[in-house]
Amino acid sequence: MVRNLIDLFREIDVNNDKTLEWVEFTNHIIELGMIRRDKAFVDSIKNYYPSEIKDSKHDTEVDAMYYLPKL
């Protein structure tokens, strides 16, 4: 089990920097759905659009969070 998790981490960590970024994780999940052609999974991501926000470290803490029920 542990060996499988290590292999999975290495598979997802495409830039091999020993950290798992959100972009790497989400890309992995989306690619798996596309490969498997799982209709339920593909339908659930059909509205996926890449974020304009760059994947980077932030110097400040979160100032506020908002719940938007319609989204």
21 in Cβ contact with 57 (< 8 Å): no
Closest C-alpha among 21, 16, 41, 17 to residue 31: 41
pTM as predicted? 0.45
pLDDT value for 53: 67
**Tens-digit pLDDT profile for residues 10-36:** 989 988 899 888 888 888 888 877 666
**Tens-digit pLDDT profile for residues 43-68:** 555 555 666 766 666 677 777 888 88
The sign one gets for the Cα dihedral 51, 53, 5, 15 is positive
pLDDT value for 42: 53
pLDDT value for 5: 87
How far from 33 is each of 11, 38, 66, CA to CA, in Å? 16, 6, 30
pLDDT value for 63: 79
